[in-house]
Structure 1
Amino acid sequence: MKEITIVEFPSNLGLKEPQPGKEPGVKNLPDWLWRHNLHKAIYPKNSIRLDPPRYSHVRDHQTQILNANSLVEYAREQAYLINNILTQNKFPFVLGGDCSILLGPAIALKQKGNYSVFYLDGHTDFMDVSLSETGGVGGMAASIVTGNGPEKLTNILHLSPYIKQENLWCVGNREYDDEYENEIRNSAATYVSLDHLRKQGILNTVQSFLLQIENKNLDGFWLHIDADVLNDAIMPCVDSRTPDGLTYAEFNELTSYLFQSPKLTGLEITILDPDLDLTGQYTKDFVANITTTFKKHFDTLF
């Protein structure tokens, strides 16, 4: 069986303050998931934490991005860590943090070969900084890792693009706004909105994705899971709430197909904010669903 390493990236560097003087609570997600038994359920061989630089709500003058220099510093450290894990043929199970934690793993993937990203998210996060009201990389992560945005962030270690744009799949978006969606529609990435996902079917979507990996002879894929891809009624403890979303039945079906693929190289979980789930009930349900599905298929596969 392939060894699992839980990697904790407790970063909120990619998000704006929810209110003046208050940091986003996603930095506490790894500890919160541990408290609700995710670590115990996954039963990793090892667990590693990499703390981020200090959070600031001030935008970088050059890029107009929050915490730009800190994000670059952190991404380099993340990439080094993930690269070492992959070199040892271990499986990184990454706990964020906001969506900006994708930068480090994406750099590591570029260092290892040619990979795809399955970006499962209630938003595309494929946005140019000029359209961002907050300057938070959390809302631009998919765009930045494919080479779109300020070079300070897109070309760390001179490795731009970390993920080729045509190897990015953005799945599950339900922010139906033409200006927002046109960014991803006009790119070389594959865009499967929530509406489209339901129309063409979950199995057909995943099969198309995995077939593309096979046809391109890619080295593997990284799975990004943003908790806000789930229906707002079952996952309201996120920073940008939107009506609708995947039910747990849909989520479990989709992830089960991905977990069965030997091309799955690693995954990350982001955005669930402990400050917005005071009783822990939503977190308990999330942990129960994702760990059950993951262990069922991961143990069989590896």
Structure 2
Amino acid sequence: MKRDINIFEFPLNLGLTKKEHEIEPGVKKLPDWLRKFDFHKRIEPNNIFRLEAPEYTMDFDEETQVKNSHQIIEYAKKQSELILKNFDKKIFNIILGGDCSILIGNAIALRKIGNFGLFYLDGHTDYIPPQLSPSGGVAGMDLAIVSGLGHEKLANIDNLKPYFLEENIFCVGNAETDDEEYVEQILNSKIHYFDLENLRKNGFRKTSEDFLQIIHDKKLDGFFIHFDVDILNDKIMPAVDSRMEDGIDYNDLKEILQPLINNEKCFGIEITILDPDYDEQGIYTQPFVENLIQIIKNKEE
């Protein structure tokens, strides 16, 4: 079944703390950067929607214990409105970040549509409370927030907490396994957790199929894919905010994503954290675009 595609551009970078050499994190350039490599043209979307992001700041909010909470909350509300206004269940949605905090707005929209699952494909769990975050950046705790953990202002926008039920979430690919306190958080949750080692043991395609079985058995309204490009091996994708050596390759990515994308209950995919400032010649972006288009367009029969 061929589905039409919409692209949403959410170039938000307020979830990240800028590095010393940066004026601001470059992830906000991601949609325009992919366009430069003909991603939009070759995907042939029906529509392209864009929501400009507020100017970058590093405002630490004492109440929520995170940076830029007010701006992120307001942006999330506008995001969800834009998605809901253009929602059509026959359409597959590609959502371009930005950093991982865009998940909040997407999650609010999905919660208003129904009961959705989440396949969280990321080199980190992003499942920690603010007190464990060294940076206070929402992008490092977005999975926790959309699961209902964290300050009510972020986790309970429009009284919709939790946006995703933990038992309907797969968190897949974490390579940051040395920090016991970090990993302990997600182990103590109801989230189905596969770190990088266990993902390999369980099998890339099988992990996706296990997730789809839950969506089917629970008769959920659909599901959403979060894809942070730092899940990819550093050799093929070093242009990210928080680099780690280990990760998956493009064949593994195809094995994971194709069963999900080809499922009619897949609302869409968000792509986050690719920073063009770390790939000025496009050496890593070009193969990324090639592989991603192939995965999205080459639907299995």
Structure 1: any 5+ residue segments left out of the alignment? none
Asked if 1:119 corresponds to 2:99, the answer is: no
User: Structure 1: which amino acid aligns with 2:191?
Assistant: A
Per the alignment, residue 224 of structure 1 pairs with 226
Moved over 6 A (4+): none
User: Larger deviation: 253-262 or 268-277?
Assistant: 253-262
Q: What's the CA shift for 1:84?
A: 2.1
Where does structure 2 lack aligned partners over 5 or more consecutive residues?
none
**Which residue of 279, 282, 285 corresponds with 2:281?**
279
TM-score (norm 1): 0.96
Structure 1 equivalent of residue 249 of structure 2: 247
- Superposed CA offset, 1:23-42 (max 9, x none): 00001110000001110121
One-letter amino acid of the structure 2 residue matched with residue 28 of structure 1: K
Is contact 2:89–2:267 with CA below 8 Å preserved after alignment?
no
CA deviations on 1:225-272 (whole Å, 9 max, x unpaired) are 100000011000001001110011111111112112111111100000
1:251-262 → structure 2 map (5 Å cutoff): 251-262=253-264
Partner of 1:140: 141
Give the length in aligned residue pairs: 299
**Counterpart for residue 33 of structure 1:** 34
Matched, 1:155 2:156: yes
Give 1:7's aligned residue: 8
The one-letter code sitting in structure 1 at the alignment partner of 2:104 is L
Alignment map for 1:174-193 (pairs within 5 Å): 174-176=175-177, 177-193=179-195
Give the equivalent residue in structure 1 for 2:96: 95
Distance of 2:28 and 2:279 partners within structure 1: 14
Deviations 1:85-144 (A, max 9, x none): 224643221000000000111001100110011000000111110000111110001110
- The answer to whether the 8 A contact 1:82-1:92 is kept is no
For residues 159-199 of structure 1, the C-alpha deviation after alignment (integer angstroms, 9 at most, x for no partner) is: 11111111111001110121111111100111011100111
Q: Once structures 1 and 2 are overlaid, which stretch shifts more, 258-267 or 12-21?
A: 12-21
* Higher fraction of helix: 1
Give the CA RMSD over aligned residues: 1.3
Matched, 1:238 2:240: yes
The offset of 1:293, in angstroms, is 1.1
Residues of 2 paired with 1:266 and 1:58: CA distance? Answer: 31
Residues 85 and 92, structure 1, Cα contact 8 Å, conserved in 2: no
* 8 Å contact from structure 2 (residues 208, 257) kept in 1: no
Residue 82 of structure 1: how far off its partner (Å):
1.2
The percent identity for this pair of structures is: 48
Q: Name the aligned partner's letter for residue 66 of structure 1.
A: K
Amino acid in structure 1 at the alignment position of 2:240: V
Of the three residues 293, 296, 301, the one matched with 1:294 is 296
Q: Secondary structure at the match of 1:281?
A: coil
- Residue 86 of structure 1 aligns to a residue in which SS? coil
With normalisation by structure 2, the TM-score equals 0.96
Q: Is the 8 A contact 2:125 2:186 kept in 1?
A: yes
1:131 paired to 2:129: no
8 Å Cα contact 1:125/1:138 also seen in 2: yes
Matched, 1:201 2:219: no
Question: What is residue 105 of structure 1 aligned with on the other side?
Answer: 106
The residue type paired with residue 112 of structure 2 is Q
